[in-house]
């Protein structure tokens, strides 16, 4: 048997014995066993041990089980558990059913581009699209594309907007390109997320062409400051300011903007899910008048990474902007997943979204998201009673921003919080000041987690003050 066939035989043997997969499963279960008790960030030793992966690429094939063991021994300790005390970067946790469904779909290894490549994926995309429209209260003709995250969803939405605004002026951008095209105005506010700026750049609008509108003290666009809108306008609003959690006033803006012929896009990475609840739905009142929406599953819905959704009420615009045909791609008039996303080949990420929604139901979605809101309010209330911290925002959703007496002290305390590894929160800038930003995005966060985290904030502050006093 030649060398190639020896390698092939080894891989067939691994598939048949299942020992490799059992080992990975056992290591995964070990990881889950301690996921809620681990330090919230890897230890210095764990970070140092990552050097074990620094080696020349092997010349010959290795041992599969040894490779899995290596990953577990040195990779597992260097992971960040997004559990009940992780409050950084608006990173969600994982609903167990959704995680299990993703694991099953990994073994399926489906390409979600076309129905003939994966009938199960195609069916679930239709089901989840319908569920999302019902959950958010959007028109039934709204279509969904399942992408890697809100960054990609924003880009897809902006290309759809570009297609429609130019098509309405007799310009087919998919055929004629942007050179010589009628000008599109981009109107948004000064607190827009960086992923929107990236999408504006990638879509060819140019960040320098943005017509910026001032925000109020909460980070909401001021409707009265909007320029005159017209049928050349792309208006970008926000459901959930990444710092304060505040929502733009869709009810005061969207219907009128739509009547003027503007395309309205809402960036709702974590905040759009308020529209799927009974008790927080008021935050998204009027958002149904927009044309497109971007939202993550892996944030508030707590699906595993990577999972984002583009929702668009103009199917023709989205498909025309994103779809590429070829002689070997025959759809037989079926809904094809690749029509609604920039990618052609893509994993079946809809599986874990379907599993999360199937498991939670409407009431479960409402309960989980409202509990995150309640825990955020608890966090803010706890810090407001703690010496050294000032809460700067009204907690309307799941975000809390705090600062200490000076920027230098705020940064020092944040570094100490991260060093203590009891909880984790990151930094940002709010109204020109350094702040600590807290995002409550995990189903697993309990009142006890909040109490422990507030205590860690207090301990960090006292330690920093003690060090400064000793130096001074």
pLDDT band at 328 (very low <50, low <70, confident <90, very high): very low
User: Rounded distance, CA 130 to CA 75, Å?
Assistant: 39
Q: Quick check: 326 pLDDT over 60?
A: no
Residue 2 within any structural domain of the chain: no
**Span 290-320, pLDDT tens digits:** 999 999 999 999 999 999 999 999 999 999 9
What is the C-alpha separation between 248 and 284, in angstroms, rounded? 8
Helix, strand, coil percentages for the chain (3-state, nearest 5): 50, 15, 40
- Domain assignment present for residue 311? The answer is yes
Q: Collapse the DSSP code of 135 into the 3-class scheme (helix H, G, I; strand E, B; otherwise coil) and give the result.
A: helix
Domain annotation covers residue 73? no
Strand segments (E) across 365-440? 390-391, 399-403, 426-430, 433-439
The CA-atom distances, in angstroms, between 216 and each of 189, 220, 267, 357, 434 are 10, 5, 18, 35, 18
Encoded tokens for 395: 């907690």
CB 226 within 8 A of CB 185: no
When pLDDT is averaged across residues 338-362 and rounded to a whole number, the result is: 96
Q: Looking at the domain assignment, is residue 327 inside a domain? A: yes
State the pLDDT at residue 430: 96
The residue among 390, 358, 310, 462 whose CA lies nearest residue 98 is 358
CA angle in degrees (0–180, nearest 5) for 313-344-357: 55
Among residues 82, 78, 84, which one has the least CA distance to residue 43? Answer: 78
Q: Identify whether 438 is part of a domain.
A: no
pLDDT value of residue 1: 46
Residue 272 lies in a domain: yes
Backbone angles phi, psi at 212, to 5 degrees: -85, 140
- Strand ranges (DSSP E) for 349-419? 390-391, 399-403
What is the total count of domains within the chain? 1
CATH number for 347: 3.40.640.10
* Residue 370, in any domain of the structure: no
List all residues 6 or more positions away from 432 whose beta carbon is below 8 Å from its beta carbon. Answer: none
pTM over 0.85: yes
On whether residue 396 sits in a domain, the answer given is no
Domain that holds residue 242: 99-357
Residue 3's pLDDT is what? 53
């Amino acid at each position: 048997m030649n060398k190639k066939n020896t390698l092939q035989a080894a891989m067939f043997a691994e598939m048949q014995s299942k020992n490799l997969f059992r080992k990975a499963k056992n290591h995964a279960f070990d990881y889950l066993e301690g996921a809620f008790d681990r330090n919230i960030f890897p230890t210095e030793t764990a970070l140092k041990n990552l050097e074990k992966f620094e080696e020349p690429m092997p010349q010959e094939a290795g041992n599969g089980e040894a490779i899995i063991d290596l990953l577990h021994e040195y990779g597992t300790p260097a992971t960040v558990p997004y559990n009940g005390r992780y409050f950084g970067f608006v990173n969600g946790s994982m609903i167990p059913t959704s995680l299990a469904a993703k694991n099953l779909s990994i073994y399926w290894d489906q390409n979600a581009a076309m129905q003939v490549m994966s009938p199960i994926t195609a069916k679930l995309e239709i089901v989840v699209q319908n569920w999302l429209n019902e959950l958010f209260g959007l028109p039934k003709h709204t279509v969904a594309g399942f992408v890697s995250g809100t960054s990609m969803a924003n880009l897809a939405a902006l290309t759809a907007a570009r297609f429609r605004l130019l098509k309405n002026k007799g310009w087919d951008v998919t055929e004629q390109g942007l050179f010589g095209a009628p000008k599109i105005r981009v109107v948004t506010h000064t607190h827009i997320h960086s992923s929107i700026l990236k999408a504006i750049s990638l879509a060819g609008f140019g960040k320098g062409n943005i017509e910026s509108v001032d925000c109020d003290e909460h980070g909401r666009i001021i409707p009265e400051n909007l320029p005159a809108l017209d049928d050349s306008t792309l208006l970008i609003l926000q459901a959930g300011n990444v710092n304060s959690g505040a929502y733009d006033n869709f009810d005061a803006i969207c219907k009128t903007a739509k009547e003027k012929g503007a395309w309205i896009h809402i960036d709702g990475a974590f905040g759009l899910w308020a529209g799927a609840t009974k008790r927080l739905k008021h935050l998204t009142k009027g958002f149904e008048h927009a044309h497109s929406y971007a939202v993550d599953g892996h944030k508030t819905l707590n699906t595993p990474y990577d999972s984002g959704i583009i929702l668009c009420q103009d199917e023709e615009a989205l498909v025309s902007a994103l779809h590429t045909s070829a002689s070997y791609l025959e759809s037989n008039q079926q809904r094809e997943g690749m029509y609604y996303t920039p990618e052609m080949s893509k994993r079946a990420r809809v599986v874990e979204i379907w599993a999360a929604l199937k498991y939670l139901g409407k009431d479960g979605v409402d309960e989980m998201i409202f509990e995150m809101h309640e825990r955020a309010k608890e966090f803010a209330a706890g810090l407001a009673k703690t010496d050294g911290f000032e809460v700067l925002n009204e907690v309307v959703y799941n975000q809390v921003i705090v600062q200490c007496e000076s920027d230098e002290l705020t940064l020092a305390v944040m570094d100490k919080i991260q060093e203590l590894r009891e909880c984790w929160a990151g930094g940002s800038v709010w109204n020109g000041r350094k702040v600590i930003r807290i995002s409550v995005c995990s189903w697993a966060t309990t009142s006890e987690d909040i109490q422990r985290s507030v205590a860690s904030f207090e301990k960090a502050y006292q330690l920093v003050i003690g060090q400064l006093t000793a130096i001074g």
